[in-house]
Amino acid sequence: MSSSITNYGVSSATYQAAGELKGIRQLVDDFYNIMNTSNDYKIIRAMHTGDLTISKDKLTCFLSGWMGGERLFSEKYGSINIPQFHAFIKIGEKERDQWLHCMQESLAKQNYPESLKTYLIEQLWVPAERIRIASKQRHEKS
């Protein structure tokens, strides 16, 4: 195991390894381009508005802080509880997995070390699963 792997998640190591804000923007652009053009992601694409500009900005801002960089989301949009923010949308395992697969495809396009790609997908599973659980709890009450 290389020392860079153990540094992910510590301070701004992940943010720096992802190419800081410029690298995160590229990742997010690729993510939404894949989602927007691939039939594999029709379900999650339909959960977004036609114009993806704000969605791209919000994900970029979120990932910046989540990876240990600038806390742009709270500066621009205020505080957020990611699972509760998405709970109004009916998200099950299929939708969670589509989102993660789309992110995995976009990560594959990045010039990141394989260890970073693996780390990010493993770590992104956690909020994706929390979103699924919050959605399930909200929709079971309805």
Tens of pLDDT, residue by residue over 40-72, are 999 999 999 999 999 999 999 999 999 999 999
pLDDT at residue 85 above 80?
Answer: no
| Residue with the larger pLDDT of the pair 80 and 12 | 12
**Domain for residue 122, yes or no?**
yes
Contacts of 43 (CB under 8 A, 6+ apart): 94, 95, 98
For residue 106, the enclosing domain spans 13-141
Left, alpha or beta for 68 (phi > 0: left; psi -120 to 50: alpha)? Answer: left
Q: Is the pLDDT of residue 1 over 70?
A: no
Could you tell me if 64 and 26 are in contact, meaning their C-beta atoms sit under 8 angstroms apart? no
Question: Length of the chain in residues, anyone?
Answer: 142
In a domain, 48, yes or no: yes
Q: Classify residue 7: in a domain, yes or no.
A: no
CB burial of 106-115 (b: ≥16 within 10 Å; e: otherwise) equals: bbeebebeee
Q: Which two tokens stand for residue 133?
A: 């659980």
Span 112-127, average pLDDT: 96
Whether residue 6 lies inside any domain: the answer is no
- As for how many domains the chain has, the answer is 1
Domain CATH for 67:
1.10.490.10
Kindly state the percentage of the chain with pLDDT values over 90. Answer: 82
pLDDT computed for residue 59 by the predictor: 97
> Do the domain assignments include residue 39?
yes
pLDDT at 86: 81
Which pLDDT belongs to residue 3?
A: 40
Q: Is the pTM of this model over 0.85?
A: yes
Query: Which pLDDT does position 88 carry in this prediction?
Result: 80
* Residue 80 covered by a domain: yes
Give pLDDT tens digits for 28-38: 999 999 999 99
Q: How far is residue 138's CA from residue 132's CA, in Å, rounded to a whole number?
A: 10
Residue 30: how many CB atoms within 10 A of its CB? 18
Average confidence (pLDDT) over 109-113: 97
**Are the C-beta atoms of 13 and 68 separated by less than 8 Å?**
yes
